[in-house]
Amino acid sequence: METKRFSTSKEKRIRRKEVLEKKKAIDEIIKKASSVKDHLLSFPPFCQYERNVYLESGIGDQLASPIKKYIQNLLKANMEGPYGSEWQMEEKVKRREMISPEARYIFVRQSTNAASDENPLAKNEERLYTGQTGDQNHLVGFVHYRFIVEEDIPVVYVYELQLEACAQRKGLGKFLMQLIELIAHKNRMGAVMLTVQKANVLAMNFYTTKLRYTISTISPSRVDPLIGAEKSYEILCKTFDSEAKAKLEEMQQDDG
């Protein structure tokens, strides 16, 4: 009996040590990824999209006031409809998230010289926002993402992917998500995750059909269908390894 008790105690210590070591390793992965100031530098081919449209990086607590205003305006234009009555409260949350030091951005800029028939993003389409930030280029969209931990898996969580109407349906959204997935791979993340409003049918189809994202096991509808039916959103994911797939995509079978 004493031998068995000693063995059980030893096993618990070993498991506890393994858990702590794994947590430390995950924290280091997140810390290292978050310390990179410009993830675009690792992917030169993704710094430009077609002619006169290019990307640049940003950090939440370093955003200039005009860029903050632009983000707020575009969020309101694109998301007030899908959120409906929840928007007033959600907008306040998004404004706080926007300027967090953990927030990482990819901004899409369009040269003012691109306003010609050759410009793929502005053919006879009226711009909602100038997106001017003190130089000769315009913002036409952005991605807000972070390196976080979900279910003990380091992931890139896409908080926002917002494009102006003139930049939509041009392949740019897919291009940006491919870049996010490359950033995730390079920084040893197990998955890319994001939240989509159920009312945003176009976005849901874009992620699940075109990009092959799946509804995650941590999404309310999969945690508890009754609760999920009351929620206005789904959590989607695309996993890159077996552990992430088991925890974030595959429903665990009940014992017995």
Q: Under a CB-based contact definition with an 8 Å cutoff, are residues 138 and 101 in contact?
A: no
Q: How many residues does the chain have?
A: 256
**Distance of alpha carbon 241 from alpha carbon 226, whole angstroms:** 30
pLDDT at 194: 98
Please check whether residue 61 lies inside any domain of the structure: yes
Please check whether residue 5 lies inside any domain of the structure: no
Q: Extract the residue ranges of the chain whose pLDDT is less than 70.
A: 1-7, 113-136, 252-256
Q: How many independent structural domains does the chain possess?
A: 1
Q: Taking Cα atoms as reference points, which of 147, 136, 152 lies closest to residue 104?
A: 147
H helices of the chain, in order, are: 2-35, 65-83, 87-98, 172-186, 201-205, 220-223, 225-230, 242-248
Please check whether residue 119 lies inside any domain of the structure: no
Please check whether residue 57 lies inside any domain of the structure: yes
205: domain CATH number is 3.40.630.30
Please check whether residue 25 lies inside any domain of the structure: no
pLDDT in tens, 225-244: 999 999 999 999 999 999 99
Instruction: Give this prediction's pTM.
Output: 0.87
Please check whether residue 4 lies inside any domain of the structure: no
Please check whether residue 156 lies inside any domain of the structure: yes
Please check whether residue 24 lies inside any domain of the structure: no
Q: 185 by DSSP, 3-state: which? A: helix
Q: Can you give the residue range of the structural domain that contains 105?
A: 34-112+130-248
pLDDT in tens, 15-25: 888 889 999 99
Strand arrangement of the beta sheet that strand 104-111 belongs to: 53-59, 104-111, 137-150, 153-163, 191-197, 233-239, 214-215
pLDDT at 256: 36
pLDDT at 95: 95
pLDDT at 254: 41
Q: Under a CB-based contact definition with an 8 Å cutoff, are residues 107 and 137 in contact?
A: no
